[in-house]
Structures are given as C-alpha cells and as structure tokens.
Amino acid sequence: MATTETSYRVLSLPQEGREGDGERVFIPLRRTLEIGAFGAGAMYQARAGEEIVNEHDELGPGADKQEELYVVVQGSATFTLGGDEVEAPQGTVVLVQPETTRKAVATSDETVVLAVGGRRGEAYRLPPGAELYDFFEHYNAKDYVGALEACHVALEKFPGNALILYNIACMQSLLGRGDEALETLGTSVEMWPKFKENAQKDDDFAPIREDPRFVELVG
C-alpha cells in the first residue's frame, strides 16, 4: 500500500500486484497516489505467456488520444505494435502514438509494466473511460440508479460520447426504461458502430432483447 508523507508517497509495484485479485492485476497509480498532472497505471502479470497489456489504441470512445509510455519495470514482455513485434526485457521503454494498436504478453513470471499517458501539448484530463470509475462502482453494487447518475456526470464532461451513452442505455434498460434505452443505444451505435457487437451479447439488454427495434438496431 502507499505510504503517505507531506511531500511524497511510496509503493511497491510487485507487492501491489501480488496482493491484487487474480493473476493479471491493474494497479491504479493515478488514483492511488492522487496524481493530477498526468495519467499513470501499472499492469502485473503473474504468469509468462499471458496478456499483460490488452489490445487497444487511444482513438476509441473510451480514450482521449493520449501518447502512452510503457516501461518494463520487472520481468519481460513481447509488445505487438501496429503488427510489429518488439521484445522488451526489463528496463525497456516503449513510446506509442495514439493511432497505433498495441498489446503485450508477459514472457516472464511476475512481469510489471508501468504506463504513463497524456495528450501532447494539452493539460491532462481524465479520459472518458476513467471518468466512468464511479459508474462501475455503483454498477458492481447493482445500484443502477446511482450508476446512471454517475454516467450523466461523466457525460457533462464529454457530451455525446459514445461509450458513456452506451452505458446510459444499459442502465435505462435495467431500470425498465426500454424506449429510452433504445433511443440512447441508437445514438451510441451511430457514433461507434462496433458497439452493436457489444450490445448483441450484453446481458444488460436482456429486458429489451426481444424487442424488434433492438433486433433491427444491433442486427
């Protein structure tokens, strides 16, 4: 855990990973250390051969076009960057631009990768996905009213964001507001068509899954 002093904080990434829930653990450094100037997190993977950085770019509706710097703090990994494979032993630094798809697989047990991100030339702000942290806390507690309220707070910061709208539609569906859910989901998938695939398998839409309008919307 973090040790708090008046001017600094200290924690051990390997220890945080070992004490986490599961073999692959995300360590929320920005939130844990109350960092305000930049985004920072770390990934711990207990087993070689397993994913440590999930495949993504920084252009989707949950992202904010950040540059990302990855540092292999412990162990080793193979990064796949836009189709190129890069071996990354301990001490390797990898800078990835927003449009580049990236993922990494640990090649040693107990690998730790630090990630730092921010938008070039602009002050740091939480990306849309991170703004949904409170939403997920409410959602995991099955407090769907609170989760919906948290989504609307995030939407004020990112008006029209497809990810936030998608989650609003999920909550509307679970709360029995089917017509609203269909309208909101329609706006979301119009902006980000890939969400059609998510909606097809998402249990949050079970209450409206048989509605012909839902079937027409997501295929």
Do 52 and 103 sit in the same domain of this protein?
Answer: yes
> What confidence score (pLDDT) does residue 7 get?
87
Backbone phi and psi for residue 176, each to the nearest 5 degrees, phi listed first: 80, 20
> What confidence score (pLDDT) does residue 219 get?
86
> What confidence score (pLDDT) does residue 5 get?
56
Domain total of the chain? 2
pLDDT at residue 2 is higher than 60: no
Residue 212: which residues within 8 A CB-CB, separation 6 or more?
none
Task: State the pTM of this model.
Answer: 0.87
Domain that holds residue 167: 128-218
- Select from 68, 97, 118 the last residue of a domain: 118
Give a three-class secondary structure readout of 82-94. Answer: CCEEEEEECCCEE
Do 139 and 102 sit in the same domain of this protein?
Answer: no
CATH number at 60 reads 2.60.120.10
pLDDT at residue 138 is higher than 70: yes
**Average pLDDT over the chain, rounded to whole?**
96
pLDDT at residue 109 is higher than 70: yes
Write 198-206 long-range contacts (CB < 8 A, 24+): 198/166, 199/166, 202/170, 204/170, 204/171, 204/173, 204/174, 205/169, 205/170, 205/173, 205/181, 206/173
